[in-house]
Amino acid sequence: MTTVVERIRSGRPVFSVEFMPPRDEADEQRLWRAIRELEGLDPAFVSVTYGAGGSSRDRTLRTTGRLARETDLCSMAHLTAVNHSVAELRNVIGWFAEQGIRNVLALRGDPPGDVMGEWVQHPQGLAYAEDLVRMVRDLGDFCVGVAAFPYGHPRSADLDTDTDHLVRKLNAGADFAIAQLFFEPEDFLRLRDRVAARGCDAAILPGVMPMTTPKVLAKTIELSGSDVPARIAARLDPLVDDAKAFRAEGVDIVTETCQRLLAEGVDVLHFYTFNRSKATREVVARLGLVPARA
Ligand code: FAD
């Protein structure tokens, strides 16, 4: 089983995709349709987010296991420290190894129910993602990624402290970081510069999501923690009542962002798909990131 690092150091620009554990049978079918539609486009890797509670965690594990068994895709499991003792985390990581999963995105996670609620460490658990990075590394031959935040993590006092913590996570043994959503290419490039200025040369992958509907735009605002820049609002706001035009403009904006990132030497783009493939397929085709035969 190849690792994410092997796949992203291919010497050519590539893309990766992120899925979520399916909520029900219909969602599972939609997810697997998206996986099959993207498989032929040769994504560098695919990842599955880790749910907040028991049943969604089971669905994450089932999906990642099935990806490893039934596809040729390089897959990565997300794992969070929330509500897990160290013993439970060890079990999950051991299960990953048994399934042939070599790549883990090590995260702290958010308090269930209210992402900005009080963070309470499990009494036998871990405090920060950095601790989980060390644990995954110690337990096997894993390739490890971490999360990064172009505007700073909402709990961080300022960007400098946030970047210091990110670099600590990377130095604890992570191979790469994947960035939360952002609006302007410069917002991501500044994050990359802040990390490089601290002497850390780990790959930082931008997280992107085609803004196909006002709902997706609202999700981007929520996840990024940033307001829509005036430049982008001026292009999308007049189209909120015209679904087709909004989608076309939203896909254009994200394609332009990706083009700028590629021109700045970024060579991996990580797409948040929400288990749908069409917009991602459109953007990567426009960027010329798909194999000629696809
Ligand atoms: P940490 O790196 O531990 O950081 C948490 C906070 O603590 C930050 O403010 C940080 O600056 C601070 N901090 C870190 N280290 C220290 C230290 N040593 N001392 C003091 N302060 C410190 N959530 C899920 O539930 N499931 C997922 O699958 C998932 N996937 C994600 C994928 C990506 C690409 C991203 C960007 C986020 C994802 N998240 C997911 C959300 C993530 O779990 C939350 O944003 C969480 O609040 C932060 O996790 P972290 O791993 O960055 O935490």
Q: What is 182-230 written as a DSSP string?
A: -SSHHHHHHHHHHHHHTT---EEEPEE----SHHHHHHHHHHHT-PPPH
Range of the domain at 15: 4-286
| 50 assigned to some structural domain | yes
**Residue 108 CB–ligand 1 contact under 6 Å:** yes
pLDDT given for residue 221 in this prediction: 97
Q: Is 270 in the pocket of ligand 1 (CB under 6 A)?
A: no
Closest CA to 4 of 72, 102, 92: 102
User: Is residue 181 one of the residues assigned to a domain?
Assistant: yes
Is 90 part of any domain? yes
Ligand 1, closest atom to CA 107?
51
Instruction: For residue 258, tell me if it sits in a domain.
Output: yes
- Does 63 sit in the ligand 1 pocket, CB within 6 Å? no
What's the CATH code of the domain at 23? 3.20.20.220
Q: How many domains does the chain contain in total?
A: 1
Q: Specify whether the CB–CB gap between 76 and 103 falls below 8 A.
A: yes
CA 49 to ligand 1 centroid distance, Å: 13
Which of 128, 151, 175, 222 is the pocket-test mutation for ligand 1 (most atoms within 8 Å of CB)?
A: 128
Q: Is residue 176 part of a domain?
A: yes
pLDDT of residue 294: 59
Distance CA 233, CA 178 (A): 25
Q: How far is the CA of 108 from the centre of ligand 1 (A)?
A: 5
Confidence (pLDDT) at 113: 82
Catalytic residue list: 18
Cβ distance 20 to 275 under 8 Å?
Answer: yes
Q: List phi, psi (to 5°) of 107.
A: -130, 155
Q: Is residue 114 part of a domain?
A: yes
Q: Is 102 exposed, middle or buried (0-12, 13-18, 19+ CB in 10 A)?
A: buried
Specify the amino acid at residue 51.
G
In a domain, 291, yes or no: no
Tens of pLDDT, residue by residue, the chain (294 residues): 799 999 999 889 999 999 999 999 999 999 999 999 999 999 999 999 998 877 889 999 999 999 999 999 999 999 999 999 999 999 999 999 999 999 999 999 998 888 888 998 999 999 999 999 999 999 999 999 999 999 999 999 999 999 999 999 999 999 999 999 999 999 999 999 999 999 999 999 999 999 999 999 999 999 999 999 999 999 999 999 999 999 999 999 999 999 999 999 999 999 999 999 999 999 999 999 988 765
For residues 186 and 107, what is the distance between their CA atoms, to the nearest angstrom? 25
Is 246 within a domain?
yes
Query: Which of these, 224, 215, 126, lies nearest to 181 by C-alpha position?
Result: 224
- The pLDDT of residue 138 is 97
